[in-house]
Chains A and B, each alone.
Chain A
């Protein structure tokens, strides 16, 4: 395959020497200098970096390259990179990017000013067999002066002429050149000191099995608090919907942890923060609901017969309006004393040394023991509740089961570092299947109900009201059918989850701790 090689050139005077060496075997044709400014982007949670991809614009094209070299994988003519993938022109690039980036905003990182002099290396037919690019690159960052990177020479191969490329690479190595960081983006990223680990919404808390439980709990909560803090800015600026989503998940996990990691803190402390975090969670319920609807707009439309798909547009206009005001409420809340004080108190509490004497019964017990107890209890109760569900069960029973499942999932994630990763992974996957089914069911129930309410709010005097009502009616029908399909699948999904094989896995997980 094509591999690009980059070499650092310690001194500009060496360039002539390099050409002279190559000219002993090939002829060289120098091309005019190319000036380019490339702007680089990634999502807040580094989705592209994590896939070794690099997204850039140069004012005429948007292109997707690889992190390991400067080769371009896909490119599309587009002067300005839109904030969201769905606004890109339809193209293979968009197709490739969309499932990775999803609904996250593309945020600018830095720009590179590149001055490139390409040299064509020709064979005896005057055919270009490899390019040798002399590159002078500087990093441009808002409010900072240009930061030059060391000069480089890049070998850009031409397909089918690998032998020639290898010969040129050999010649370069013989002149004593050292290979440089694989891509200019990678080199610049190092130089700018961007922290690519700065954010991930995944729980990643490294606990020791014999750690005091109150300390371990605090460690988990500190991790969650950090996520909450890191998302505040994006929530306030409404950069994309996932800031609020991650923010809320961290709040929910905090609440769940407070009630599930039992008897580690003083009762008064636990109760105070449980109540306060419940308030914080509630404050953004409406905004998140609306986000979900709007993100799903295309799927709603797709459920309708084609000639009706535009008739529900008034619904989305209305939801968009409601979102605007819900966003204002959330902004106000995140800046309120209620919110700020809770977080300040919480942080202060989490940074206190463990209470002495212990504040609660489990505080000093090893976390591995407490974790196993809690997980086991949740798991048993989930099985019991699930087994009671049959074809005639009320929706509410499924909703309750979902909440139990979520609690179990959070516990498994909190304590992941205490268990063998592979076994835990299998169980989490099984649980996720169950949760997906229950979650889908719940969403469809709620949507059905809310759409019904929306119909009530439409005035018949509004233009096109009848059409809109008909379309929403149609949508309710489609959602209802889907709901029953999802409901039907529950039986076998739960049976899988509660299989003896999984039970044995759970038993094994809860009996042996991870070997150190």
Chain B
């Protein structure tokens, strides 16, 4: 089983869109796949038409490992399940710190699911708190969408130095370019610089900025399902191939 986190400390970069489409693609090969919506905003739950949980309270969720599997719901697609967002995750960071070994809590919670799933995708909220440390600890790879702008570049540097400080292996991180606009000179320049510094940690496929991707908000399905022949779907398929290659390499 592989745990793949879509994460960035920056918001609105395409984490959820990637998590939703990659998880779907993983499941189409017959691999048993779970997407965990760790973001209290519940965007990935929304895309799969699953209501976030209101009641359980993060405390219950964090305490009982059995709860994990009880909360899982089947999506409309074979082999793909979802752990919907829990609204009480809003204060997840504070609650996490109340536990012993608070940084390993997520890994421990996921462990009973190891047998059941081939892939677990984590759709993470944007921040750099103890939640992030849990994600880095639990994930085999952390997939980071990077919009090729100077601001993003700075955020990425921040993330890299955070990783270094916390002594996570550098190759845990895999970046890809997100919302790329080929006509923007700045984007191209920025991509050139980052490619050099990220080297093997950069997945070759870039996801272009496409208005069609935003339509996922109304179709409430992965774009790979609604428009399988579209440029967007192709881009996510290529990204999934890259990711598989990186995982087996």
Contact among B51, B71, B73 with A158 in the assembled complex (CB-CB below 8 Å): B73
Docked complex Cα distance between A398 and B30 (Å): 53
Interface: A75 (CB within 8 A): yes
> Contact: A159 with B50, CB < 8 Å?
no
Of B50, B73, B74, most A-chain CB atoms within 10 Å: B74
A126 CA / B74 CA spacing, docked (Å) = 14
Please tell me which one of the listed residues B30, B72, B220 contacts residue A160 in the complex, with CB atoms under 8 A apart. B72
List B197-227 residues whose CB lies under 8 Å from chain A.
Answer: 220
Closest chain B residue to A77 by CB distance?
A: B30
Q: Check: B66 CB closer than 8 A to any chain A CB.
A: no
What residues of B have a CB within 8 angstroms of the CB of A120 in the complex?
76
- Which residue of the partner chain A has the closest CB to B82? A160
A77 to B48, CA, bound (A): 26
B49's partner among A61, A75, A125, A160 (CB-CB below 8 A) is A125
Q: How distant is the Cα of A125 from the Cα of B30 in the complex, in angstroms?
A: 26
**Please, which residue of chain A has its CB at the minimum distance from the CB of B84?**
A160
* A186 interface residue (CB < 8 Å to B): no
Residue B81 interfacial (CB < 8 Å): yes
- Among residues of B, the one whose C-beta sits closest to the C-beta of A76 is B30
Residue numbers in A under 8 Å from B76 (CB-CB)? 120, 127-128
Task: Give the residue name and chain of the B residue nearest to A75 (CB).
Answer: B30
Q: Say if the beta carbon of A161 comes within 8 Å of chain B.
A: yes
Q: Are A159 and B30 in contact (CB under 8 A)?
A: no
State in angstroms the CA–CA spacing of A161 and B48 once bound together. Answer: 14
In the complex, chain B residues 27-63 whose Cβ is within 8 Å of any chain A Cβ: 30, 48-51
A161 and B74 within 8 A (CB): yes
Q: Which A residues are CB-close (under 8 A) to B51? A: 125
Q: Collect the chain B residues with CB atoms within 8 Å of residue A159's CB.
A: 72-74, 81
CB pair A126–B49 under 8 Å, yes or no, is yes
Please give, as numbers and ranges, the residues of chain B lying within 8 Å of A161 by CB-CB distance. 73-74
**A:62-112 near B, CB below 8 Å:** 75-77
Across the two chains, which residue of chain B brings its CB closest to A2?
A: B74
Interface of B (DSSP majority class): loop
Interface size on B, residues (CB 8 A): 12
User: Given the known A-B contacts A159-B72, A160-B74, are A127 and B49 also in contact in the complex, defined by CB atoms under 8 Å?
Assistant: yes
Residues from chain B with Cβ under 8 Å of A127 in the complex: 48-50, 76
Mark B80-123 against chain A: 1 for CB-CB distance below 8 A, else 0. Answer: 01000000000000000000000000000000000000000000
Chain A window 30-74, contacts with chain B (Cβ cutoff 8 Å), 1 for yes, 0 for no = 000000000000000000000000000000010000000000000
Q: In whole Å, how far is B83's beta carbon from the nearest beta carbon of chain A?
A: 9
Q: Which residues 447-482 of A have a CB within 8 angstroms of B?
A: none
The CA-CA distance from A160 to B73 in the complex, in Å, is 4
Residues of B within 8 A of A75 (CB): 30
Q: How far is the CA of A206 from the CA of B240 in the complex (A)?
A: 62
Please, how many angstroms separate the alpha-carbon atoms of A115 and B162 in the complex?
57
A residues within 8 A CB of B71? 160
- Give bound CA distance, A61 to B30, whole Å: 10
Give min CB distance, B3 to chain A, whole Å.
18
Bound form: Cα–Cα A77–B29 in Å: 9
Q: How far is the CA of A61 from the CA of B76 in the complex (A)?
A: 21
* Inter-chain contacts of B48 with A (CB < 8 A): 127
Which residues on B sit within 8 Å (CB–CB) of A128? 76
Most chain-A Cβ atoms within 10 A of its Cβ — which of B73, B81, B220? B73
Report Cα–Cα, A77/B71, bound state, in Å: 30
Q: CA A61 – CA B220 in complex, angstroms?
A: 30
> CA–CA, A278 to B39, complex, Å?
75
Most buried by A among B48, B71, B72, B76: B76
A contact residues around B72 at 8 Å (CB): 159-160
Q: List A contacts of B220 (CB < 8 A).
A: 125-126
**CB-nearest residue of chain B to A157:** B74
Cβ of A30 to closest chain B Cβ, rounded Å: 15
Q: Which residues, 151 to 165 on A, are CB-close (under 8 Å) to B?
A: 158-161
Q: Find chain A residues with CB under 8 A from B73 CB.
A: 158-161
- Identify which of A76, A77, A125, A158 contacts B74 (C-beta below 8 A): A158
Identify the closest chain B residue to A130 (Cβ).
B74
Question: Shortest beta-carbon distance, A131 to chain B, in Å?
Answer: 10
A128 CA to B73 CA in the complex, in Å? 11
CB distance from B74 to the nearest CB of A (A): 4
What 1/0 flags go to A416-456 for Cβ under 8 Å of B? Answer: 00000000000000000000000000000000000000000
CB distance from A89 to the nearest CB of B (A): 11
Docked Cα-Cα span, A127 to B75, in Å, equals: 8
Interface string of B155-172 (1 = CB under 8 A from A): 000000000000000000
Would you give 19 A-B contacts (Cβ < 8 Å), ordered by A?
Answer: A75-B30, A76-B30, A125-B50, A125-B220, A126-B49, A127-B48, A127-B49, A127-B50, A128-B76, A158-B74, A159-B72, A159-B73, A159-B74, A160-B71, A160-B72, A160-B73, A160-B81, A161-B73, A161-B74
B residues at A contact (CB < 8 Å) = 30, 48-51, 71-74, 76, 81, 220
3 closest A-B pairs by beta carbon, nearest first, are: A160-B73, A127-B49, A159-B74
